[in-house]
Chain A
């Protein structure tokens, strides 16, 4: 059964890879069109895959790291595509396609034994909104980090980066808004499931740290917009902290006692 799902994931990977190449070398109108069709095709295939997985597991596929990665790719693409359409940035679509691909391929290299069991603490109305909101936040902030890297390159070539950073601000504000929602939803859920809204459990601690890092970034940007070199670096690398909060945590010594480490 799992085997049939994987075909959908494979279709996504192939379509997106080709689309990625086409978005980078967008020579003619036809190629542009083909790349859009292929990216949407890959997206639909991923969507079908997620729906089938949900039905097959008979629970939201949001428990394990691999499952959250699927959603991550899903939202990365969605956000990339909407931003691309809205502001007509072809490179933006390339970047989000690239990131989305990385996370699908990660799932290929590290396949998950998708178990259907879901422990009682996770069976809550908060489960879906909490995870979805976080994945949207991660997708925005992941893209903002790519903008940071693009700015890093432009900056090293002596080109102006103000517009890129301003664009990055829009993405960061969106991502940070969702990050805040994820954090607060998590706290409200924790109160219902565990009796307290905040226990400085390692996962919570790192979630707070990544929230704070973006908070620091936003305030620096607001206060000293002209310090571009600093902002570019911070924007590019802040995402690393997010990655620690998301899955680096599973490898930290402090997390061995965490109630949050599933799978």
Chain B
């Protein structure tokens, strides 16, 4: 290869200087467009994105076939071009990693995903990565397997994720026990009628035993100990020491109600609350309970400035037991749980939230429903990358 110093810039064959300038030019143009238009770059939906996808593939293939006659196209599939594209894309990622991002239409430093600069860097990466992949496709050889899986896989995942963005639909469904719902909501005003309906039969939630903490008796604010909040798992069966206090829970009730003598008694009744009886430094001190919509909070005072409180319990698991109704009169039961979405008519349905005020007694369940028709293509890319990575691990580096 000729030494760069002997070659004037923009004279072929190009190398790193041209790459830097092209990347910088794209960044600048992008930011100028952001600044002057003040509008997010368009994310076309079907059928425009499919056409664009075909167009992109065709352009890449035609370019690839003509690379003999064009040093520019050859350069686009070289490592210097790859580095420039990667550095540009990474630079914008670093900006996103430093400035808190909130996505709201107009491009700005805190909304880079909608910016033209991001768009240009993305397209540039796709073109360079695409041409780099094509360069080793033919003749198909076994020793290029890792290369092709890594590069084509990433290309496919990136291309399908980006172009598919315009087709993603995402709504919330608000279910109430005993009622049937077939609407999705987005924000305040956008609704959609769905090709299926869900009836919430039962919303269930299991809690962990609530944590206990040292609090200020007046404000109920959690005190700090050694720079961290002074709290701990409920010390059932084993003493826990916080700030010198040895605390032990001698009784623990997952479902308790308060009787007329203001004692906690076990009873599974709507609004039953968690409660524990504590000993502090060996002496019985009484009940703590986080309280809820039915019962008040109960703390164990230790001094004027210190008390022990029970925190709001954390959910261990929650799920919606629903019946699914399809347009053809079919119906069947399903359980929707965090991390275990179900799929109905092309929609993925996720357990998202519930009525926090009522905790496990919530009669409402909030679901998130997502439709992403490009997902299979993205996943093919992911699977190719997984195999590519495994090959990379086992084959290691091949020298040029």
Contact = CB atoms under 8 A, between A and B. Distances in A.
Interface string A174-201: 1011101100100110011111111010
Contacts of B107: none
Interface of A is mostly: helix
A209 B97 contact: yes
A88 interface: no
A28 interface: no
A252 B98 contact: yes
Interface in B138-175: 150, 161, 168, 170
A225 to B, nearest CB: 8
Nearest to B207: A117
Interface string A101-114: 00000000000010
A252 B97 CA distance: 8
B385 A184 contact: yes
Interface residues of B, number: 58
A229 interface: no
B350 interface: yes
A202 to B, nearest CB: 6
A44 to B, nearest CB: 26
A200 B96 contact: yes
A193 B338 contact: yes
Contacts of A193: 338-339
Contacts of B200: none
B233 interface: yes
Nearest to A121: B338
B211 interface: yes
A65 to B, nearest CB: 13
A173 interface: yes
Contacts of A192: 339-341
Interface residues of A, number: 51
Contacts of A176: 389, 392
B390 A177 contact: yes
Contacts of A173: 392-393, 396-397
Contact of A124 (B150, B161, B339, B388): B339
Interface in A108-157: 113, 115-121, 123-124
A113 B227 CA distance: 12
B307 interface: no
A222 B150 CA distance: 15
Contact of B113 (A113, A116, A200): A200
B238 A1 contact: yes
A120 B339 contact: yes
A212 B89 contact: yes
A50 to B, nearest CB: 19
A48 interface: no
B338 A123 contact: yes
Interface stretch (A72-80, A90-98, A213-221): A213-221
Interface string B67-97: 0000000000011101100110110011011
Nearest to A120: B338
A209 B168 CA distance: 25
B93 A212 contact: yes
A173 B396 CA distance: 6
B314 A117 contact: yes
Contacts of A205: 93, 96-97
Interface stretch (A14-22, A30-38, A253-261): A253-261
Given A195-B348, A216-B87, A222 B79 contact: yes
A11 to B, nearest CB: 23
Given A174-B393, A177-B392, 8 more contacts: A113-B231, A123-B338, A193-B338, A200-B101, A200-B113, A212-B90, A213-B90, A254-B101
13 contacts: A116-B233, A119-B315, A120-B337, A120-B338, A176-B392, A177-B392, A177-B393, A180-B389, A196-B370, A197-B378, A200-B113, A212-B90, A254-B100
Interface of A: 1, 113, 115-121, 123-124, 169-170, 173-174, 176-178, 180-181, 184, 187-188, 191-198, 200, 202, 205-206, 208-209, 212-213, 215-216, 219-220, 222-223, 225, 252-254, 256-257
In the A-B complex, list the 9 residue pairs whose CB atoms are closest, starting with the nearest: A177-B393, A223-B79, A120-B338, A180-B389, A177-B392, A212-B90, A205-B97, A177-B389, A124-B339
